[in-house]
Structures are given as structure tokens and as C-alpha cells.
Structure 1
Amino acid sequence: MFVLPKNPSAELWDGPRTGIDGVKELFGADEAYENTRFQSYFKKVLKNVKHIFMDDPSSMPTLIKSSETKALIETGLKLQTILPLSKIIQELRMVKSDDEVEIMKKSGMISSKAFIEAMKWTSPGKTESQLWAKFDYENRLHGASILAYVPVVAGGPNALSMHYVRNDMELKDGDLVLVDCGGEYNGYASDITRTWPVNGKFTEPQKELYQAVLNVNKACIKLCTERNNISLHGIHAQSVKLLKHELQAIGFEVSAWDLERILYPHHVGHYLGLDVHDLHDLDRSRKLKKNMVITIEPGIYVPFDNKFPEKYQGIGIRIEDNVVIGKDEPYVLTSTSPKEIVDIEFCCSNNN
């Protein structure tokens, strides 16, 4: 590793540096040098390698002077290929170690606690931005370093936009609020979505639609095992079938187009870890293995369109959990965040 050297004068202004000895002690580096030595070290290494793994080959000229690159090539540089690095790293990140799972359990517990406090705090007249601030505060208070992403705090029909992040409207009596938020703990992200009534009580249409989504959420979580020999794409296909059945039971007549393009236009989940949408170069068709971590997040978003039952129009609901794949049983990292109707209403009734 190449690092800034210790410098008492600079550290007085900018804080302590790890330094060469600290890098070996704290980060396990076999060798450590001052960063000023990087160019000479890099030129020496280049003379004896066939491949360089890097994601941005255009940065090569900035690592060493172009004249030096040319000289190396003329004097027998044996470099054959520049190969991508990130996909190799992502493969290593896909299956979590037991220690990583423990960190993600803590991350999930912190964010779940924030959801409990936010539900208790919500009331008509408060704003989406205030609820955002409440989440930021509660996550940091309980140990998160930052929010893992800009949250969605969507009151009423704002929830019909998947990535609504304006978060600046007033929360109104009789509406639901959909919140997609998670904290980051020791570098590992949580990604939770819950939907609850602003006034603490679901109306009957809200309750019916919410229970439909919840039933799909719970059924999909049960699929999250190695024994089921299924992929995220496979779980998504099941979620579409399940949601169609649930909607038909409460009076919807929907085509496949309406369901997958309008009412439920997103995927049921994604990989989770050091990033929120983790492992972006790895597709969701691979079979799930023990200690992979994914999200399960079915949703329903009913626009103001008379092809759908009027009493459900303008309602958006998503329920998202973080799940560790097990051999025979999944482990839900976000199980302490209320999602049953009775639990949400009880939590909201304890308004503080």
C-alpha cells in the first residue's frame, strides 16, 4: 500500500494519518511505502507482468508519464492485456462471510429501530422532509455512520413514483406514507421499505391492498433458500403470479401488461452488501447460495385510472426486507421492523 506519511504539521489541521507502520499494523499490508514512491515502484512492476487488472484503462497515462510508458514498451514491456477488475471483486463479494453477516445483522437492527421510532413519531401535518430528518437522526443515534442512500419519503400519491426523492410535501390525514430508507454500519448497507398510515389507522381499502402485498412479501421470503434452487429472477416470476392472484381476490381484473408495466413495474429484489444495489455487473439469474444477501420488495402502485378499482386509486405500497440466504431457512435481517397491520397500528398508536 502507498500512503501519506505521518506529518505532525499536516495532521494538526486535517487529523491523524495512519502512516506506513499503521497500514501494516491495522490493515495487514505486507509492504507499505510513502505515496511519492508509487511511480518508480509501478514502472519496476510493469517490466515483469503479462496482465494488468483495472477498470479504467484510460487512467494508465496518469499513473506514469506517457514518455515513460513509451520507453517501457520500446525496452521490452511484456504486458499482453488489460483486464477488468470490478467483476472479479464482485464475485468475491457475492457470498458473505459469517463475520459480514453479523455486521449486516447489526445494520438491519439499527435501521429497523429507526423505522419503529419513525412510525411512532409520524402524524398529520408533519412533512416528508421532517420524517427524513427523523430517520437520519435515529440511524446515527443507534450506530449507523450515514444513511446508505437518499431515502424515498412519499406521502399519499407521491408513492406512485418509484424513486420519489423530493421529500418536501406535507403528510396528510388519511394518506399512507411509503418510506424506503436504510443506514450504513461498518460499510454495509441496509435497504428497508415500509408503508404505514399517517394517522395510525389503515382504511379498509388501504388494509386490503397492504395485506395483498404483505402476503406476496412473506411467500417470496420463504423461497430464499439454497434448497429451493432458485434465482432472484425465479423469485420475481413467482411474485408476479402471487400478486396477480392476490389482486384478483380483491376485485382487480388485470392483464399481464397492466401488472408488470403499471401496477408492479420493478423487480422483486437485488443483491445487497457494501453497496445498496450491490454487484451491479452480476445478473440476477444465478442460483441463490447460502450467505448471499438480497432484498425482497414486492409493491403495488395504483394510478388514477378507471381501469382499476376507484377505491384503490392513488395508493402506493412497497414492503422490503433484507434476507440472508440459508441452506434450508432464510434469515430476515429486518424482522424487527414492523410490517404486520396489527403491529404497525400498535406502533403508530404509541405516538411520542
Structure 2
Amino acid sequence: MSLPPIDTNPFVERRERLFDLMHALGGGIAILPTTPEIRRNRDNEYPYRHDSDFFYLSGFTEPEAWLVLIAGENNRSILYCRDKHLEREIWDGYRFGPEAAAEHFQFDEALPVEQLDQTLPELLQDQPILYAPLSEQDTLDQRLRQWLAAARQRSRAGFQTPARQLDLRVVLAEMRLIKDATEIDTMRQAAQISARAHVRAMRSARPGLREYQIEAELLHEFRRHGAQDVAYGSIVATGANACVLHYRAGDTQLRDGDLVLIDAGCELDSYAADITRTFPANGRYSGPQRALYDLTVAAEAAAIAVTRPGASWNAGHEAAVRVLAQGMIDEGLLQGSLDGVIESGAYSRFYMHRTGHWLGLDVHDVGDYREPPSLLQSAIAGSGPRPWRTLQPGMVLTIEPGIYVRPGDDVDERWWNIGIRTEDDALVTETGCELLTRGVPVDADEIEAIMRDAPPLLTN
């Protein structure tokens, strides 16, 4: 059987970067498991998805695997994985096995996973620092304790065990914040596929169809262009459902005069896209719908304008909030001054979430939104909140303002059940940001043109 095409050099380069960081911190050993398989019911498992940190360093996607990195005079990378098992491969598919995995993914060594308990205590000896995802899984913590206990038994012969333990996830989160060229290329492709799917959904939509039918069009386009999965459960929400932030596609029918909010993105080669568009089921925005839609687009434009190197992570949110809050006042949804509405948080009745999040291997990707603490801040208790993270080239984030108006005695009925969000994926560049997801338009006139000019794809 031919091996899957994959350039393993980026994974080797990431391991080398981690080795450099480990040496800077004093050396030591890093231990990282992939995600365990999870039973769905009886003898069926959920579709398997590897751990993102594990994949980031290894490129290896099989379950029951562990990565061990030793930063010493001669750095060592060791993969533990399932052995070859020709009978199980008939049922479950190809397994690399240690020998092929070591060669293909450029590890110094690969061993059967059954040897983990036998070999780890020895590898832990005389290591100054242990890096692992601490307190993430009870089973992992238990095994770490067992290995350390076994290593201490050997310490009577003069060996030492790690004096410090550091959370490997914190180190990797900082690395993963800045995307390398391979990651950016994959995320561009995922964004393009996802944008095509949103266009297909717009062309398919019409009153009388159900949300799950529109979801099926998204999934069709994802898979048709090579995406392996969805990056998250697709939101397809019509009418009042669009005011439920994490609504899942259900069986509600699209009605003439209602909006349809779709928040969906594919996962391509483990990387996520994340797009939201809101469009009219009948192809034309009503007056109130258009007013709030254009307001949301203007808020997104304001956030995009300040998304650039050197800017604060929070600058986009602040810019979007000012536009939305002023629009709410102008349309009569809120009363008072702009500064008063913002200071009191009154706008959050209709806009209750942040304007974006990191994006990458996870749809809500890792990385602190505030600057890492300095040594001085760490030493001073109660030193106050850290400043917001400064954006740098290579960071990828979403920009997603919205407005959600539920019925209320103090709300004009013309606004009831209007839920709108626009969301794009932005790569911070040297001079500003690149929107990866504008393969699907955001302008209301362009959306109406797509829905008007293209024949529907669905037939009942």
C-alpha cells in the first residue's frame, strides 16, 4: 500500500523549534499523547480525530500513539505507536507500524506502544524538567505518576528524577500562535473550500426547504473539494433560531421573509476554516433586515481596518462595538449617548459575544489573548491584568460581529427575531490583514445577486 502524501519537513522543523525552547528553559524530556478513541455506543467509536498538539509536532494521525522528545547533548525524538497487525488492517485500515513511521515521519526512533511503561522510567532518569500536558486527563496524570515512581526506585542507584514539571500545552500554544508557510497555505485552501460551500448554500436556499437540507449542501461541497470533515458542528439557523448563538441545523423550514444564518467551515488536513453569512430565504432583505445587516457589515469593516501588526488584540472588538452601539442608538433599539451605552454594557443585550478568536488546528485555537506574564508580573501578586496581546504577522483570527434581537415589550416589532452575523478569517500580514474567506461575498447587493441569478441546486 502506498503511504499518504505528506511533507514531513514542517513537523521536523517544529520539533527542532521546541527543542530550542526546551534547551533555553534548561533541557529535559517532553511527553505528549494523542487523543484516545472514544466509544459512541456498544462496539462503535466516534470518528477518530487526533490531538492537535500531537499532530502539530508529528504529522502522525493514528490513535494509541505517544511522542517523546529529549533535549540533551544529542536531541532525540521517539514515537510510540501501534505495531503492524495485518489482520486488524483488514478491518480498520493501514497502520504504519514503528519501522515505517520512524522513516516516513523522520523520527530518530519508533517503538511499539506496548513498550511505553517499560521504557519511560529509564528515559525520565537524570532529566531536569518534565514537559507534559498537566492535569488534562486523569489517566495521563496517573501514568506520569507511575513512571516517575518507577524512576525514583531507580534513583537509589544514583539517578535523579525531574525536579520541575512544566505544562507543555503552554509552550506549544505560544508556538502555534504564529502560523508557518505550510499552515497558512492549508488554511487558505480550507477557507476557499468553505467559501464555495457558503455560495452553494445561498444558491440552494428558498422558502420551504429545511435547515438540514441546506446543511447537506454545505457538507457536499466540503467533501467534493477534498475536506476531510467539518471544523465544528455547522450552524444553519432560520428565523428566530438565528438568535441562538450555538444553534445546530435542525428541521425548521425556511419561510418567506426570514433570514438564514449559516456559521460553517470545513477541516482540511487538520486545519479549520470558520465563516458566517446571513442572507434572506427569499433572496431579498427587508428594510429592517437590510438596516441591521449593513450595520453588522460596517462593524466588521471597522474591526478589519484595525487588524494589523502592532495593534492590540482587543482593538477590533472595540471598533466593532462602537459601530454597533451607535447603530443601535440610531435605529432606536437603545437610548442614550454612545459612550454611555458602551460604558454601561447596554449594547450587550443585542451583541453579547466577542468579535473574534484565534483560528488554526482548532476552530477556537490555542493561545492567550493577553501578553504572557513577565518574570516581574509573575513575582508580584495582584499586579493587575496583563495587557492585550499585540498582533503579529502570521497570526490568524476570526472577525465576527453580530446583532441578535429577540422579542421584547420595549423593542419595535419590526426588529423581532432578526439574528445577523458576518464572519471572516483574517491572516495578519506585514502591513495589515488578508481576508482568507472573501470567496463568498459579504455585501448585501452581491448576496442578493447570487441568489437571484443562479438556479437553485436543490429539488424536492
Partner of 2:67: none
Question: Does 2:264 align with 1:181?
Answer: yes
- Determine if contact 1:61/1:69 at 8 Å carries over to the other structure: no
Aligned to 1:94: 177
Are 1:152 and 1:181, in contact at CA under 8 Å, matched by a contact in 2?
yes
Find the aligned partners of 2:370 and 2:219 in 1 and give their Cα distance. Answer: 31
Q: Matched residue of 1:33: which SS? A: strand
1:147-226 map, 5 Å: 147-165=230-248, 167-226=250-309
Are residue 237 (structure 1) and residue 318 (structure 2) matched?
yes
Per the normalisation by structure 2, the TM-score is: 0.72
Residue matched to 1:46: 124
- TM-score, length of structure 1 as denominator length: 0.93
Rate the CA distance shift 1:205–1:31 in 2: closer, same or farther, 3 A: same
Moved more, 168-177 or 277-286: 277-286
Q: Within 5 Å, give how 1:119-158 maps onto structure 2.
A: 119-158=202-241
Other-structure match for 1:68 = 150
Moved segments of 4+, more than 6 Å: none
User: 5 Å matches for 1:305-316?
Assistant: 305-316=408-419
Distance 1:171 1:74, change over 3 A: farther
Please name the residue that 2:393 is paired with. 290
Q: Secondary structure at the match of 2:236?
A: strand
Asked whether the equivalents of residues 215 and 249 of structure 2 are also in contact (C-alpha less than 8 Å), the reply is: no
Farther-moved stretch of structure 1 (322-331 vs 27-36): 27-36
Q: CA deviation at 1:41?
A: 2.0
Q: What are the superposed Cα offsets for residues 216-250 of structure 1, whole Å, 9 maximum, x if unpaired?
A: 11121121111xx2222221112111112233333
**Equivalent-residue separation in structure 2 for 1:39 and 1:319 (angstroms):** 50
Alignment partner, residue 29 of structure 1:
107
Q: Structure 1 residues 300-309 or 40-49, which shifts more?
A: 300-309
Alignment deviations for residues 190-239 of structure 1 (CA, whole Å, 9 cap, x no partner): 0110000001111111111100100111121121111xx22222211121
Secondary structure of residue in 2 paired with 1:232: coil
1:7 alignment partner in structure 2: 85
Q: 1:219 to 1:265 in 2, by over 3 A?
A: same
Structure-2 change in CA distance of 1:66 and 1:53 (3 Å): closer
User: In structure 1, which of residues 248, 253, 276 is the aligned counterpart of residue 363 of structure 2?
Assistant: 276
Secondary structure of 1:240's counterpart equals: helix
8 Å contact from structure 1 (residues 302, 312) kept in 2: yes
Q: Which moved more, 1:276-285 or 1:117-126?
A: 276-285
Aligned twin of 1:263: 350
2:20 aligns to what? none
Separation in structure 2 between the aligned mates of residue 67 and residue 345 of structure 1, nearest angstrom: 66
Structure 2: which 5+ runs fail to align?
1-78, 336-340, 372-387
1:329 to 432, 450, 456: 432
Higher relative contact order (CA 8 A, sep 6+): 1
Shift of 1:5: 2.2
Structure 1: any 5+ residue segments left out of the alignment? none
Tell me which residue corresponds to 2:94: 16
- Partners of 1:60 and 1:252 lie apart in 2 by 52
Q: Structure 1 residues 131, 259: CA separation in 2 closer, same or farther (over 3 Å shift)?
A: farther
Q: CA deviation at 1:296?
A: 0.3
Quote the Cα distance in structure 2 between the aligned partners of 1:280 and 1:287: 12
User: Among the aligned pairs, what percent are the same residue?
Assistant: 32
Deviation at 1:339, TM superposition (A): 1.1
Paired AA for residue 176 in structure 1: L
What's the CA shift for 1:11?
1.9
Q: Distance in 2 between matches of 1:323 and 1:281?
A: 18
* More divergent stretch after superposition (312-321 vs 52-61): 52-61
The amino acid that maps onto 2:435 is: V
Query: What is the CA–CA distance in structure 1 between the aligned matches of 2:249 and 2:215, rounded to whole Å?
Result: 11
The structure-2 alpha-carbon separation of the partners of 1:36 and 1:307, relative to structure 1 and needing over 3 Å to count, comes to same
- One-letter identity of the residue aligned with 1:340: D
